[in-house]
Amino acid sequence: MRLLILAAAATVLGGCELVEMGSSDRFQSDFHYTYDLQPNARVSAETFNGSIDIEGWDQNKVEISGTKYGSTEALRDHVTMEINHTPTSIEVRAVRGGSHEGNCGARFTMHVPRGANVDRVTSSNGHIKIRDVATAAHLVTTNGSITATSLQGDVDAHTSNSSIEIEEVKGGATLKSSNGRIKVDSVGGPLDAETSNSSITARLDSAPSAATKLLTSNGSIDLTLGSSPKADIRAETRNSGITVHLPAGAGARLVADTSNASINSEFDLTSSSSDNKKHHIDGVIGGGGPRLELNTSNGAIRILKGNAAGN
C-alpha cells in the first residue's frame, strides 16, 4: 500500500511539472523598436529559448518586433532586451537576469536592409531563419532548425538535433549538424556539409568551382549536378547509400568504394586499373576531370545520368 501511495504521489508531482513546462509562455510582453541603418550595415542577434527571423527589405532602417515570455510574471520581466546600435551596425541580445529557476525566453523578427551583413546569430531551443540579405555568417542554435534563403554571399550554419536548409546562395556554404538532415538547393561557392544519423541532399545547378564535401553517418547522400564537375567532390557515409546525378556529357575521375553492397554506373567507364571489383571502381567518366570520390559501407553507390527526376 505504501508503494502504491508513493507511486501515486510521484505521478501527481510529475503531472504538475509537465503542466509547468507547458505553460512557459503563459505570461508574455511584446516589444518593438525601429532605428536607421545603412544599407551594408553589420547585424548580430542573440536569444535563448526562442526563434530569430531576419529578412531583408528595401528600407534603410531596422525594425525589431518580438515577444518576451515566462511561466511567471517575474521570470518574464527578468528577460531584458539589450540593443547597441549605430548607423553602421546593430546588436540585439535577449538577456536573462534574476533566478534561473523556471522557464522563460524571447523570440523576435528583424527587418534589415537587403545589403546587410548578418555577422552572428545565436539561439537555443528555437529556429533561425535568414532571408534576402548579403551574407549570413555564424548562425548557431541548438534543438532548432536553420533556414537561409536568397543570400548574395556566404553562409555558415551550425545546429544540433535539427535540420539545415539553404537555397539560392551565391557564395559558399559551411553547414554542420547532428541528428538532423541537410538540404541544399543552389550554392555558387564551396560546399562543406556534415551531419550524423540523417541524410544530405544537395542540388547544384552550376557545379562549384571549389571543392565539395558531403559527410554523414547512418544517412543517405543524394547529390545532383547541373553541369560537369569543376572541382573535386567527396561524399562519405556509413550504413547507407550514395546517389550522384550527373549530366549526360559529364567528365570525372571516379573512385568509389563500398562494402556489402554494389556500385552501379549509367556512364561508360574507362578503367584506370585492372583490379576493379564489385565493391570498388577506379575509372574515368567521359573525358575525365576532377576527382569524384564516393565512400560508404553497407550501402549501394549509384552514378546516374540526368537530374533527380530522371530527366
Based on the domain organization, do 105 and 209 belong to the same domain? no
Answer yes or no: is 150 within a domain.
no
Residue 228 lies in a domain: yes
222 and 281 share one domain: yes
Residue 142 in any domain: the answer is no
Please give the Cα distance from 244 to 211 (Å, whole number): 16
In angstroms, the CA 147 to CA 166 distance is 6
Per the CB < 8 A criterion, the answer to whether 226 and 308 are in contact is no
State whether 45 and 92 are in the same domain.
Answer: yes
Which cell goes with 206? 552550376
**CA separation for the pair 28, 106 (Å, rounded):** 9
SS3 content of the chain, % helix, strand, coil (to 5): 10, 50, 40
Same domain, 175 and 258: yes
Indicate if 303 and 167 belong to the same structural domain: yes
Task: Divide the 311 residues of the chain into consecutive groups of 10 and give the mean pLDDT of each group.
Answer: 38 32 76 97 97 98 97 93 97 86 91 96 96 94 96 94 95 94 94 96 88 95 95 95 95 93 91 62 93 95 78 46
pLDDT the model gives residue 169:
94
Shared-domain flag, residues 187 and 126? no
Give how many domains the chain has, as a whole number.
2
Domain endpoint, select from 131, 155, 185: 131
Contacts of residue 8, defined as CB under 8 A and 6 or more positions apart, other chains included, come to none
Cell numbers placing 215: 559527410
Q: What are phi and psi of 14, to 5 degrees?
A: -60, -40
147 lies in some domain: no
Q: Are residues 46 and 92 in the same domain?
A: yes
Contact at 8 Å (CB) between 124 and 145?
no
Domain boundary, last residue among 90, 112, 131:
131
Residue 15 lies in a domain: no
Q: Which domain holds residue 44?
A: 22-131
If asked whether residues 114 and 201 sit together in one domain, one would say no
How many CB atoms sit inside 10 A of residue 6's CB? Answer: 10
- Residue in the block written with cell 550554419: 157
27 belongs to a structural domain: yes
Q: What is the pLDDT of residue 301?
A: 96
| Residue 95 belongs to some domain of the structure | yes
The count of other CB atoms within 10 Å of the CB of residue 273 is 10
Residues 120 and 243 in one domain: no
Residue 206: what pLDDT? 83
Distance CA 60, CA 114 (A): 9
Question: What predicted TM-score, i.e. pTM, was given to this entire model?
Answer: 0.87
Please indicate, yes or no, whether residues 180 and 91 belong to a single structural domain of this protein: no
Query: Do 304 and 185 belong to one domain?
Result: yes
Do 62 and 197 sit in the same domain of this protein? no
